[in-house]
Amino acid sequence: MTCLQDIALLFAGWEETMVWSCLQGVMGRGTVSRDGCAGMIVSQDFTFLAGKPDRTLLEQLGPVLGRYDGDSQRQALERVLAELSRRRERAEEDRRRLGRVYGVLGVTAGLFLAILLI
């Protein structure tokens, strides 16, 4: 999920120019984890992380980074990036599906209160 509002919540209070440039849509890109608890902004050669780390992804990279040749490290990073993309797609689908459910619940609760007050 790449909604700037979600990313902005995780990076609230940061005073880094590159973070603000991404949040304003000027440069860089940001992503948020499936559960919305972690976020990442990549701008130029810099990466900024916020929120609660996703240990499972970090554990996949730990044994490979800095230990093997560049191609192996690139492959490991590509695998993690693919997994993050899959998680983002699932999160976007959940958000669309649950957004409708919460909308219907809100309308129903409003109608119930209106009937109750009448």
- Those residues with Cβ within 8 angstroms of residue 36's Cβ, 6 or more apart along the chain or in another chain: 1, 6, 91
User: What pLDDT, on a 0 to 100 scale, did the predictor assign at position 111?
Assistant: 92
* Alpha carbon distance 50, 30 (integer Å): 11
User: What pLDDT, on a 0 to 100 scale, did the predictor assign at position 108?
Assistant: 92
- The DSSP secondary structure of 37-67, one letter per residue, reads SEEEEEETTEEEEEES--HHHHHHHTTTTTT
Per DSSP, 69 falls in state: -
> What averages of pLDDT result for each successive group of 10 residues across the chain (118 residues)?
73 84 84 78 78 68 68 76 79 82 88 89
